[in-house]
Every structure is written in C-alpha cells, then in structure tokens.
Amino acid sequence: MSTFSRESDPNPLALEKEYRTRGIQFKEFLTREQTAKAAATHISEQIARNPQSNISFATGETMVSVYSELIHMGINASQVQAFHLDEYLGVNSQIDKESFARFVRSRVVEPLRIQQAFYLDGTANNPHDEAKRYELLLQRYPTDLVILGIGPGGHIAFNEAGTPFNLGVHVQQLSPETVQRDIDRGQPKREYALTQGPQNIIRARQIMVVLYGAQKGQILQDCFTGPISEQFPASILRSSEVAPRVTVFLDEFAGKKMRSI
C-alpha cells in the first residue's frame, strides 16, 4: 500500500501505510503535518456527516496542529456540541494558561464559532459534583466522536495507570510522571484533575487517536502488546467491542513501533 515517494510528494495528504493491528485501524503518514491534516480531515468528515455532532476534544501539544488544520478547512461547525476530556483541579480557564477548557475555547470553539460548548470547571467548589454534572451532560449528548492523544504511561484523557476501566467522569490523581512532564513544560505543579473516564471514552460512536514520534509510539506499543489491563489505560481501546470503532493517526516514527508488533 506504500505508494508514497518522499522526494516527489505531489499530495500533502498522501497515506504512507494503512493497516490493522489488534483489530484497530492505523493510518500512517510520513510527517507530523500530514498526520495532523489527515486527522483534521477525519474530524471535518464527521461534522459534514452530522453537523450536530457531539464531539469531545482532546487538548495538548499534539492537537495544536490538528485544530489549526481544521480551522483552515473553513467548515461550518457552528451546530457542533463541544466537550473536552479533562481539566486540572484549581485552574481558572479565564486566567490560567494551562487550562484545558481555555485551550478548547480558544483553539476550537471560538475559531469554529461553535455555539454550544460544555466545559469542566476546575474551580468548582465540589469537584465530585462537577464530575457528576459533566457525566449527566455526556449522557444527554452521547459522544459521536472522541479525539484522544496519548500521555505518559499510556494515559488517555487523564486516566492514569491503575484507573478502573469502569469509571465515568471523576477526580483523578495525576501520576508523578505526568506531574513532572507538566513541570518540565513550564507549567505550575498540578496533582489532580477532573477527567472523562474510560467508560465515557469507550461509549463514543467513533474514537480517534493522534500521536507523533517514537516515544509516543513506544508508549502505545506497550499498551498494545501486553494484556488489556488497567495498568495500561490505552489498552482498553483493543477490547473487541471497542477496537472496530478506533482509528489511530500517526507519523512514521510512531508507526515503526506499531508495525513491529
């Protein structure tokens, strides 16, 4: 299936390889840019099919180029219901730069002129009540598409290793690895978050994952080679009732790790 020539790339969206591993569809591209563009196209196709889609948007560096591609496509997304995956406890989306609600508002909702967006409130007095509120919203607006990145230890949203697979929206203690990653990125130390749980993610009609680079590829490989286990949160995507709804967009550096399993 590899028809792509690096020297004479006439098509910026050229797919390098498409394969199925552990029942999951993989779409692999040579560069991050191509991967991001293909991921954005996938989101835009969902919106074209159903302009009123309920979409849960991931945040993080991986998604910056995906959403900027999406915005440049000039689609009409005004009727989408936007959700997001997670938020640090104690952050105020009006003030704190690391807020994920702020990320989704400024990089997705406002530029796409989405009229209806539901945010997790990191400043809620009772975070457990806030989790319940968001859980009810997700039940009222069943997710058509959830967009995921992969974090340290194979976390999806903020579901760290050891998170029970049967959890919905909940308060999560972040792993030392995640806390350190954020500190290394120059963010204030945050040790707790509100997050959609594994159950919210796997209930989505469509699940997409985006990752670039060998390091993320290795994390995913670890989740896809061992047992399906709460110790490897992303491994839940392999379970037989979930895998057919999952598409992974990745660059060749991440792909090398996945093709070898």
CB hemisphere CA count around 157 (13 angstroms): 33
Angle at 246 between CA 115 and CA 165, to 5 degrees: 90
CB closer to ligand GLP out of 143 and 178: 178
Stretch that binds ligand GLP, among 17-25, 56-64, 104-112, 118-126 (CB under 6 A): 56-64
Report, in Å, the least distance between residue 22 CB and ligand GLP: 20
Q: Which is nearer to ligand GLP, 80 or 85 (CB)?
A: 85
Minimum separation from the CB atom of position 8 to ligand GLP (A): 31
The CB-of-168 to ligand GLP minimum distance in angstroms stands at: 16
List the one residue from 151, 154, 198, 255 that touches ligand GLP (CB under 6 A): 151
Residue number, 30 or 148, with CB nearest to ligand GLP: 148
Contact with ligand GLP (CB under 6 A) among 47, 58, 108, 248: 58
85 binds ligand GLP (CB under 6 A): yes
Residue 62 found at the interface with ligand GLP (CB under 6 A): yes
| 18 bridge partner residues | 27
Cα–Cα distance for residue pair 109/57, rounded to 1 Å: 10
Do residues 69 and 105 make contact, with C-beta atoms less than 8 angstroms apart? no
Which of 65, 80, 145, 149 is in the footprint of ligand GLP by CB under 6 A? 149
Please enumerate, as own/partner, the contacts of 232-236 that have beta carbons within 8 Å and a separation of 24 or more: 232/153, 232/154, 232/161, 233/153, 233/154, 233/155, 233/156, 233/159, 233/160, 233/161, 233/163, 233/198, 234/150, 234/154, 234/155, 234/156, 234/209, 235/154, 236/156, 236/165, 236/198, 236/201, 236/202
**Segment contacting ligand GLP by CB under 6 A, of 101-109, 136-144, 149-157, 241-249:** 149-157
Residue (93 or 178) nearer to ligand GLP, CB:
178
Site for ligand GLP, rule CB under 6 A: 58-62, 85-86, 149, 151, 157-158, 178
